A and B are shown apart, each in its own frame.
Chain A
Amino acid sequence: MELRIGHLYADLMSIYGDRGNVLCLAQRARWRGIACTVTPLGLGDALLPEAHDLLFMGGGQDREQRLVAEDFQTAKGQPLREAAEAGVAILAICGGYQLMGHYYRDADGTELPGVGLFDAYTIPGQGPRLIGNVVVQSSVPGLEDRTLVGFENHGGRTHLQGDTRPLGRVVVGGGNNGQDGFEGAVCRNAFGTYLHGSCLPKNPWLADLLIRRALERRYGPVDLAPLDDTLEEEAHRAAVNRARETR
Chain B
Amino acid sequence: MRLLLAIWAAKLVAFACRALGRGGGTSLPGLVALRIHPRADSCLAARLPRGCVVITGTNGKTTTAKMVATVLRTAELRVVRNVSGANLRRGAVATLVGATGPLGRLDADIGLFELDEATIPEMVRALRPRIVAVTNLFRDQLDRYGELDTTAKRMNQAFRESLQREQTLVLNADDPLVAELAEGSPARVVRFGIDAPQAAGDADSHAADTKTCPICGGDYDYAARHFAHIGHFACPKCGHGRVAPDVRVSELKLCGSEALELAVEGETRIEVRVAAGGIYNAYNVAAAVALCQALGITRDRLVEGLEAFRPAFGRVESLEFPDGKRSLLLLAKNPTGMNQVIRLLRDAGGVRHVVIGLNDNIADGRDVSWIWDADFEQLVGVPESVVVTGIRAWDMAVRLKYAGFAPEQVTVEPDPRAALQVALDRSAPGETVHVVPTYTVLLDVRGKLEREGIAPPFWEEL
User: Which residues from chain A sit less than 8 Å from chain B, CB to CB?
Assistant: 11-12, 14-20, 23-24, 27, 61-64, 67, 129, 131-133, 151, 153, 155, 196-198, 201-202, 228, 231-232, 234-235, 237-239, 242, 246
Contacts and interface: CB of A to CB of B under 8 A. Distances in A.
Contacts, number: 101
A101 B195 CA distance: 46
B388 to A, nearest CB: 10
A133 B366 contact: yes
B212 A63 contact: yes
B370 interface: yes
Q: Please name the 6 residue pairs, one residue from A and one from B, whose CB atoms are nearest each other, closest first.
A: A20-B372, A17-B372, A17-B369, A235-B394, A16-B369, A234-B394
Contact of A67 (B139, B212, B391): B212
A84 B432 CA distance: 53
A190 to B, nearest CB: 22
A12 B367 CA distance: 20
A196 B205 contact: no
Interface string B365-406: 011111111000000000000000001111101110111000
12 contacts: A15-B139, A17-B371, A20-B399, A67-B212, A67-B217, A151-B367, A231-B398, A231-B401, A234-B397, A238-B392, A238-B395, A242-B360
Q: Bin chain B's interface residue count.
A: 35 or more
A61 B369 contact: no
A19 B399 CA distance: 12
B149 interface: yes
Nearest to B395: A235
Contacts of B401: 231
A229 to B, nearest CB: 9
Interface in B41-71: none
A102 B28 CA distance: 49
A201 B399 contact: yes
Given A14-B373, A231-B407, 6 more contacts: A16-B367, A17-B369, A18-B369, A23-B403, A132-B143, A234-B394
A129 B143 CA distance: 9
Interface in B402-421: 402-403, 407, 412
B373 A17 contact: yes
B295 interface: no
B391 A242 contact: yes
Nearest to A21: B372
B408 to A, nearest CB: 12
